[in-house]
Structure 1
Amino acid sequence: MPLFRQLEPTPEREHQRKNKRKNEWTEDEDEPSTLIGLCLQSLAENMKEMWAKDYTQKYMDQYFFRYIMGPFSSLLDECYLCLLCILSSRHLLTRAALHLLLLPQLSSLSLTSACSLVNANLCSLIQIRCQNLQSLDLSGAQNISASVLCELLGSQSHLRSLSLAGILCDQRVISVVCRQCPKLKHLDVSRCLHLTPAGLLPLSYQEPLVKNANISSLLALDIGLAENERDAVAAVAFLLLSLPGLQRLAMEGLGQACALIQNKQFEVTEEFSSREGVPLLKDMWAKRTQEDHLKDSSLLSTDREESFTLEGKIDEYLSESQTDASDSTDINEWTRTSGEGCEKDGCRSRACNGRDSVTTSLRDVQGLSLDTSEAVGKVCPELRVLSLDCLQNNVDDNVDSFEQAAVLARGLGTFSGQLSCLSLQFAGLLSELVPALKAAGSHLLSLTLEGIKADGHIPFLELIHACPRLTSLTVHLDPPRNNLNEEEEEGEDEGLLSNLPCIPHLRSLTLNFSLDERHLKPALCWKSLKGVLWALLRGASLLQKLSLIAVPCRLDPVFKLVLNHRAKPLGALDSAPLHCLRSASLNRSDISMETVIHTVNTCRRLSHLDLSGCWALTLSNITKLQCKAKRRRHTLQITWT
């Protein structure tokens, strides 16, 4: 008998359900919105003590069931997937629960939260029962061998997404994936130390010729080392030329491969091609150039046909009866569209006539070094997401960080106005990095900075001003070594506060200040950081996730100013401060119990609060806070050590 009964779906109900999902971010994530959601949460909480317990005691080690017909097999697909997600997110998946829930209708399976349970027996169950999987994530499952993986993946012909990060994956597994998973679009083999860059070549070419042209996302950072660095670069270049649909790529040597293609230095890869039994890179380049020529010619021909059709429509229309004012408007619109088509034709004609290089469809790249950014910009003109490691250029201690920042600014200038996500590792002052962030343009939605050294609050405010559209900001930085000789801004001066910049649509903020493990608490040496924190917190009314780690200033005056003062930064939304906050981590920061209680009472949607290492709080404080949290309408999980 089914656990739940639901009306047959209709187009109207389907439309309402989709609209509801679009607006889910405004609802509390921990609050179920339907009776079905409540039932599934209750089912998940009782899984271990009732369903899994009975199966463990009576069946699990005594029998091997090819299929299990029971209450879970009667669940609707949507309820079934929701139950799995709840169990996984709450770390409630057990071996018995997995045995009960591995059913033929399963289309998505992620075992990252229970990777220690994944073994050869469980893989055989997945292979037998779940042959309709479209997404499979086995990241971190180190208890299964490459041969077991080959057997499992040999039965998954419907896979579109596969994550094998950090497991014993090698070239044999990649070959099986190419033969048996023709619909695969996303592959993650990061941290697979038994897999070399050359081991990925079957994705694009093997004998007999099998080409997985559907691959659009490939993540392969920190995999096994090649025989030499040149081989790794050649392998990446081969993948770039042979997989035209690739839009996301994360591999070491990607920047050097783009430079190799841009400069046509194919002769250095001939030995690699001969050893691996793949075509010469210069032949691959010529083939790709020819394909691009044909594609351009096809587009040009299509546009010309559309242009001729438009001209025919205009002639036909003019030959008809009297034309009134509205008709003239229509003709002008046709003419304008036709003109745009002609301009497009001219651009494509120039592209066809002057094409002497290959460009890729990559929009998201990781694993680049600073000295290759220019070549990457030419080979990947549609780039939207960029991850740069400037530390690779700091092998020589004599490298000037200011000069490096100038080079970075020039490199990011080539992507001005087109980047939406940027990640930088830079060992220099924040003030030196600000010009590079301005060069990247104001369209950034996500920014991650690592290795930065703090040198005052002014560069921080300039960063905020340079990136006003951010929805996610993550900064890992070293605090000032000495007390900064800066006067603390007057917190009550409404005029000064109202002129500070803000990031109004910020939803995730992480400021992680490095702290020597020998010290229990940071030195409170940066009083002027208070104004920066106020501008970030008060100006981000939509903030949902906050992480302030080892902050080198007191947080009491910051939260008091954010929650109590009526002023707001320039351009902030007309909303209450922190009213959307769901998760807050204030590890190793100076904050009092009074401020914590005030914050919890104000942020009514807060569901997780991490106060680990907050030395001003005691066990009695946390006990008192937990008692107060039990009386809240929304559950609050408190972490403190």
Structure 2
Amino acid sequence: MPLFRACSGPKLVPGRRRIRRAKWTGRVRKTEEDGSVPPLTRLCLLSLADHMKDVWAKDYADNYLDQYSFRHIMGPFNLLPGDLVEELLQLLCSRQQLSRAALHLLLLPQLRSLSLHSCPGLVTSALCGHIVARCQGLWSLDLSGAQQLPAKALSETLCCLSNLRSLSLAGMPCDGFTIRTIARGCRLLRHLDVSRCHLISPAALLSLGGGAFCSSSCSHSNSQSHSSVFTPSSDPSSSSSIAPLSPLPLSSLLALDIGFGDQEKDPVAAAAYLLLSLPCLERIAIEGFTQACCLIRHREFSWTNEFADREGVPRLEEVWRERRRNLRVNSLSKNIEEASAEKEEDDEEEEGLLLWGENSFDIEEAASRSNQAEQKRKGVLSQPDDECITLHLKDVRGLTCDSLDSLGHLCPDLMSMSINIDGEEETRGAGLGSLLAAGLQTWSGQLRYLSVQFSGPLLRLLPALKVSGSSLASLTLEGVKTSPHTPLLEVMQACPRLRDLDISAEPPCRQVEEEDGGDQQDDRDHPRLPNLCSLRLNFFYEHSQMKPIMSWMALKKVLKCLLAGSPLLEKLSLVALPCPLDSVLEDVLQVVDLNLPDATDPAPVPLGRLQHIGLPRSDVKMVTVKSIMQRSQRLKSVDVSYCWQISQKEWLDCRRFSKVHVVWV
């Protein structure tokens, strides 16, 4: 297959060539996020993507694809570095241009990351055979959504990819045998996602804990089934002699919405076992997590004895003791090393004083410090046993208010959490905000990402946001209720460092007239979010309504503060706003200088960095939308679906004369 093809057509006139080159460069410039001219490497990849179907993959598809099976293909892409091959694959996937022939050409030994979650239809048993033959050095593999791939073929593939660090199998028909294959064959795995795999039971995840469940004490009644847990798929005969395994070094485990266990308590028991047997876990999303934390915190291990006997695993108390013993040994080793290092420094300093010091006071001081170091080292060796276990989790999901106390003792290093407090609002009323604030106090000043699902008034969450909001970079509020007096400005003031703000709320049920002179009020002292990059305000609406009820006029002031005070904003989504939006956008567009210093732009322009705008069911005119399109040179897409003030003629005119993709229904 030739690397290049000579153009045999007639030569172009020099003037026309320049015009054509300028137009082509202009089209490519749109592909860059910042609007700048792309580098030469990017231009080459874009050219390869444009000609992949008609040039590079055509010959292979016509002559070789279904007639031969190659272990390796010496084609035009073998000399490309692995990172460029990965970028080309991502480019083809994003354009929906990745075909079976193109994928065969790009499955190369230098590939380290392969993600096919956007085109799961290409994942077949035959393709997995090509992956095993050509890409055994893969570090990351994402096959999420490939429902047509049998579990047996998946297991045979994974047992040959021993270098995997990240594996995503969400929504696939994998089963417990697949998990056992992963535990045996992927010993370097750090991230595993098996969410929505309904054939996997909670107990099947226990094999990820490795040798903690291989002890001889649990072989009394289930020796045959227990041996099958650790049988590699490539060697079935090895079930008679199975070597114990250490736990996988998993730092991330996502297993939400998987299959059910034999009994209702199985998810909680399995979660408790995984928390204690996987020492490297930092991120987890699994059913029964909150109850498992309470169980470990209060040491109610007998609650899982029936589960342990049925599954043939050690009692949870034994696993807890082993985890505590390992933590104590590691801590003592670390402290002894530090104390020994300090003692060596003191010995060197004492020796120097003995050699060079002429003052007896210096010698006595050196001896005193040497004795203190020796006493410290002996004190480390005689430390009492600590009954408390600390988990190194940093990202957890599916919490409740009741679990925050236990979680504060077990996981003091949390930086990201998702809390679901639906159903608790009716029973606790106004005290819920204080309870949540007290629970979040443990992570005050360190929490970076917070997601709260709450069906009550947003006002009740304000105390909790004041406790944890100072360090938040991302805030998501789902299902909250609003009123004309909802303190959104106070929320902004409590979270000044936000980069992402996502609020899905019910609109106010009653309308309050706007106060006179509200628009003329000086807003220079209002809170701003100078780091905000993504803003989404989504208000629930009924599909039968043509437009939402304008019941929250004070929201205009909040929107003006958000849009005018966030010069780094790139993504904006405002859905079914219960207030006029057109006047707000006009006021923001008139702002010239916000006096907000920025490293790259000394005078950032409001809405100047927008790339994507969504304004469905909003009170906005096409004239205002065009003004935003002229202001934002990086704008790529605008969604004005169901905007009643925009006609089809205006949409067609804007679509005809603008390069921005405009959606209207």
Given residue 524 of structure 2, which amino acid in structure 1 is its aligned partner?
S
Separation (CA, whole Å) in 2 of partners of 1:376 and 1:350: 30
Which residue matches 2:504? 476
Does residue 418 of the first structure (1) align with residue 446 of the second (2)? Answer: yes
Q: Does 1:162 align with 2:191?
A: no
Closer, same or farther in 2 for the Cα pair 1:45/1:318, shift >3 Å?
same
**Alignment correspondent of 2:183:** 178
Choose which of 571, 581, 588 in structure 2 pairs with 1:555.
581
Question: Which one of the candidate residues 81, 90, 114 is aligned to 1:85?
Answer: 90
1:582 and 2:617 are equivalent in the alignment: no
Residues 489/85 of structure 1: CA separation in 2 closer, same or farther (3 Å cut): farther
Equivalent residues in 2 for 1:271-290, closer than 5 Å: 271-290=306-325
1:316–1:615 Cα change, 3 Å: farther
Aligned to 2:554, which of 498, 505, 528? 528
- Superposition deviation, residue 30 in structure 1: 6.7
Deviations 1:523-552 (A, max 9, x none): 222111111111111111111111111112
**Does the 8 A contact of 2:144 with 2:172 survive in 1?**
yes
Picking from 147, 150, 156, the partner of 2:155 is: 150
SS at match of 2:452: strand
Letter in 1 for 2:528: C
1:210-609 alignment runs, 5 A limit: 210-316=245-351, 318=353, 352-353=383-384, 355-391=386-422, 393=424, 398-456=426-484, 459-487=487-515, 490-493=518-521, 496-566=522-592, 568=594, 574-609=603-638
Q: 2:174·2:200 contact (CA, 8 Å) conserved in 1?
A: yes
Letter in 1 for 2:557: G
Are positions 1:34 and 2:39 aligned together?
yes
Mean Cα deviation higher: 102-111 or 41-50:
41-50
The verdict on how the C-alpha distance between 1:122 and 1:618 changes in structure 2, with shifts beyond 3 A counting, is farther
**How far 1:125 sits from its partner (Å)?**
2.1
Larger radius of gyration: 2
Q: 1:244-268 CA deviation, whole Å, 9 max, x = no partner?
A: 1111111121111111011000001
User: 1:137, 1:450 → 2: CA distance?
Assistant: 29
Give 2:277's aligned amino acid: S
Matched residue SS, 2:464: helix
Q: CA deviation at 1:422?
A: 0.7
User: Equivalent residue for 1:10?
Assistant: none
Aligned residue identity for 1:81: E
Q: For residues 128 and 392 of structure 1, what CA distance do their matches in structure 2 show? A: 52
Aligned 8 A contact 1:369 1:392 in 2: no
Mapped to 2, the partners of 1:322 and 1:302 lie a distance apart of: 29
1:195 maps to which of 197, 200, 205? 200
Equivalences, count? 595
1:33-53: CA deviations, max 9, x gaps? 211211211221222233333
TM-score, normalised by the number of residues in structure 1: 0.87
d(CA) in 2 for partners of 1:552, 1:121: 53
Aligned to 2:23: none
Please state whether the residue corresponding to 2:451 is helix, strand or coil: strand
Separation in 1, partners of 2:118, 2:515:
48
2-side partners of 1:79 and 1:30: how far apart? 21
> Contact 1:296–1:352 (CA<8 Å) still a contact in 2?
no
Secondary structure in structure 1 of the residue aligned to 2:319: helix
Give, in angstroms, the shift of residue 374 of structure 1.
0.8
Compute the displacement of 1:313 (Å).
4.3
For 1:476 and 1:154, the matched residues in 2 are separated by 43
Give 1:350 shift.
Answer: 12
Residues 624-635 of structure 1: pairs in structure 2 closer than 5 A: 624-630=653-659
Residue 485 of structure 1: CA displacement? 4.0
Cα-to-partner distance string for 1:468-492 (whole Å, 9 max, x where unaligned)? 0111111111111221344276334
Shift in Å, 1:223: 1.2
d(CA) in 1 for partners of 2:131, 2:614: 38
Counterpart-to-counterpart distance in 1, 2:265 and 2:37: 54
Pairing 1:613–2:613 present: no
Q: Give secondary structure in 1 for the equivalent of 2:64.
A: helix
- SS of equivalent to 1:112: coil
Q: Which runs of 5+ in 1 are unaligned?
A: 5-26, 329-333, 631-635
Match of 2:144 in 1: 139
Quick check: 1:109–1:135 contact (8 Å CA) kept in 2?
yes
Match of 1:8 in 2: none
What are the superposed Cα offsets for residues 484-532 of structure 1, whole Å, 9 maximum, x if unpaired?
A: 3442763344xx2101101111111111111122223322221111111
Q: Return the letter of the residue paired with 2:131.
A: I
Output the TM-score relative to the length of structure 2.
0.84
Q: Answer whether contact 1:583 1:609 (CA < 8 A) is retained.
A: yes
Task: Provide the rounded CA distance (Å) in 2 between the counterparts of 1:288 and 1:486.
Answer: 61
Could you tell me how far apart the structure 2 residues matched to 1:542 and 1:244 are? 39
Q: Does structure 2 conserve the Cα–Cα contact (< 8 Å) formed by 1:237 and 1:260? A: yes
How far 1:623 sits from its partner (Å)? 2.4
Displacement of 1:296 after TM fit?
1.8
Separation of aligned partners in 2, 1:268 and 1:91: 51
Secondary structure, counterpart of 1:373 in structure 2: helix
Cα distance in 2 for partners of 1:3, 1:407 equals 68
Percent identity of equivalent pairs: 42
* SS of structure 1 residue aligned to 2:44: helix
Q: Does the 8 Å contact 1:149/1:173 carry over to 2?
A: yes
